[in-house]
Structure 1
């Protein structure tokens, strides 16, 4: 055995020993998770036990990153722990998560990033069905897009918050990288049509004009559906992400064709539970008001007076007759905090229709 082989053997033996310790600790953690479930069931009484605690998981992931010393990056370590928590939570209660399908969409990728791969993915054909599935209790949670850094707010999602009585339980951001995909039988020089969701066409507009100015753009319900169609048709291409490549057996003709390199989408987690404070939270509300002089000042003045920072405000027609508008507002803080309670109280006293959509931890990953 050479000196190099001897040195490598020592290191590999150390790795094997560490792996055994990790394995023992993983099973100890899983056993502890099972006991948590038993305690919840024992003391919950007739109420349904809540197994998923978004504020608790956010705190755990933040502590993981804070104590990380490297060489692994903070977020990489947090992703490992995210999967450990996902596996352990599945021992307590397997979660069914609804998302806008079919399989292979960015929304499914967001669901897996937030809940881990041990959650059961449930693809829905429309955003309406995602909301309905969660409200009916057929899915424990739902994942919906709310805004894109390039194209702005997902207005249909905002409209659905008015119709359904659900809570926002969390948020996450996902980097969006679009690829141009084709099947093995398609000649790159003979592409006649490209399938994609209309939002993806918008996010790749300049690249498409420069590279495929005369090719038909066919807008469909999701990028994953476009990838499925492109996998079956000669002469077709699709704009989609990494998940669609293996799922539909396509190859990447061009990578990262989005016009903005920092293109990202923010997603919200839908549920029916109130989430406790995590220490670093956001609150979302929906307000309805008539269009009259000073209405925007009336809505925003309490935030300034009580020192609450807004992170997002969006206006939508209320569709209630007359000139009424919905205001979707995100701001820092939790509904249990005194200053936030003062803001909400002032808004309610102004005879404004107010709907608290939820307080939830800020995105960690």
Structure 2
């Protein structure tokens, strides 16, 4: 027994020595980061560069020999980079709140725990905080793989000059939460309309006669349920922890392959990373063959369109705004040429951003 304990103590001492080395290297890295911040400030460069972060994650993941899991590398270095950015320049980020929404989780995934995350009550409020310079960046949802686009976000780009700086893809898993954790005591279910829609079949099969109540966010639903023992909320595991709720049933979403895409918005356009996406919005003149001519500039240059979406133009009946996601950066010659060719058919055209794409 003593021999076994001696062996364990030896292993722990080796771990302690490695941890000491990691700590020393983190501080050495931090000193260099401070110098980087001074250089950026002198050259008036952006402190937050999404393409640089992505390159770090990809390089380290590719070099990882194991057994440390590759999927954990991004999480570990996300916090190292977050703390480093805080040393360079304190980062303030607005997000669609309250705390424990999926947008909050997306903001944490993108900016880490060292950023100052500021909850907002609406998508327009997120845009406004960034536009007025009270926050450096904002995070808003734009589409879900099951329920489609978030129309409020697309509508905001029509009148805003803010640029998309990055995209975040978050796997969405819904839990049914209540004070008791007892499914039999549930008399109503509260959540955001999209969360209710994503769990529609489960609710019909398991709580067929229980009324469903729409609220502004999954986190707000959790807040309400924390004060009502007869109600249950569809929300995240983070919400359960934050608001003192128990899980009545985990993972009740109908489609297990359920993702939401979020956008990081800012005032400037990021530089080219080599693996970029460009988003544009435009309206076209109503004339025969216009949809074909709209796509032709991209087809002839073999540019992939990863998304096409349309929204009614509120100022005129039966006219539409189109949103395109194009593979490539606006600084790429063929992308720039294609957009300029498209412009001749448009009543108006706006570039929403060129930014690193998630693969």
TM range (shorter): over 0.9
Tell me if the contact between 2:169 and 2:261 (Cα under 8 Å) persists in the aligned partners.
yes
Q: How far does the alpha carbon of each residue in 1:216-266 deviate from its partner, in whole angstroms, 9 at most, with x for none?
A: 101000010000000001201100001101110000000000000111101
- The residue aligned with 1:202 is 197
Partner of 1:242: 237
1:59: how far off?
Answer: 1.1
Matched residue, 2:154: 158
C-alpha distance in 1, partners of 2:212/2:202? 13
Q: 1:273 aligns with which of 268, 278, 289?
A: 268
| Separation (CA, whole Å) in 2 of partners of 1:183 and 1:19 | 40
Matched, 1:228 2:188: no
2:354 equivalent to 1:356: no
Counterpart for residue 311 of structure 2: 316
How far apart are 1:350 and its partner, in Å? 2.9
Deviations 1:80-120 (A, max 9, x none): 11110000100111111111111110000000001111111
Cα distance in structure 2, aligned partners of 1:350 and 1:156: 26
Q: What CA distance in whole angstroms lies between the structure 2 residues aligned with 1:199 and 1:231? A: 21
Q: CA deviation at 1:322?
A: 4.3
Query: Pick from 46, 50, 55: which aligns with 1:54?
Result: 50
Which residue is equivalent to 1:72?
A: 68
Do the aligned partners of 2:188 and 2:231 also contact (CA within 8 Å) in 1?
Answer: yes
Aligned to 2:248: 253
SS at structure 1 position matched to 2:158: helix
1:351 and 1:175 map into 2 onto residues whose CA distance is 36
Once the 2 structures are TM-superposed, how far is the Cα of residue 69 of structure 1 from its aligned partner?
1.4
1:187 CA drift (Å): 5.0
Partner-residue secondary structure (3-state), 1:104: coil
Question: 1:4 Cα shift?
Answer: 2.4
Matched, 1:329 2:298: no
Q: How many residues align?
A: 359
Output the CA distance in 1 between the equivalents of 2:163 and 2:300. 27
State whether residues 188 and 210 of structure 2, in contact with CA within 8 Å, keep that contact through their aligned partners in structure 1.
yes
Q: Distance in 2 between matches of 1:342 and 1:147?
A: 28
C-alpha deviation, 1:20, in angstroms: 0.6
1:232 match: secondary structure: coil
Aligned-CA RMSD value: 1.4
Write out aligned runs for 1:211-226 (5 A).
211-226=206-221
Q: Unaligned stretches of 5+ in structure 1?
A: none
Matched, 1:90 2:81: no
In the aligned structure 1, how far is the partner of 2:286 from the partner of 2:149? 21
On the 8 A contact 2:282/2:346 being kept in 1, the answer is: no
Counterparts of residues 273-312 of structure 1 (less than 5 Å)? 273-312=268-307
Partners of 2:41 and 2:9 lie apart in 1 by 48
Contact 1:290–1:324 (CA under 8 A) maintained in structure 2:
no
What's the CA shift string for 1:115-153, capped at 9, x where partnerless? Answer: 111111111111111111111111111111111111111
Give 1:79 deviation, angstroms.
Answer: 1.4
8 Å CA contact retained: 1:100, 1:127: yes
Q: Deviations over 1:314-363 (max 9, x none)?
A: 01111222432111110111111111111112112334421001110112
Counterpart CA distance in 2 for 1:322 and 1:107 is 33
Q: Secondary structure at the match of 2:209?
A: coil
1:183 paired to 2:188: no
Deviates more, 1:299-308 or 1:8-17: 8-17
C-alpha contact (below 8 Å) 2:284/2:345 kept by paired residues: no
**Structure 2 counterpart SS, 1:363:** coil
Q: Which moved more, 1:105-114 or 1:320-329?
A: 320-329
Q: Which runs of 5+ in 2 are unaligned?
A: none
The two structures have a TM-score, normalised by structure 2, of 0.97
Q: What TM-score, normalized to structure 1?
A: 0.95
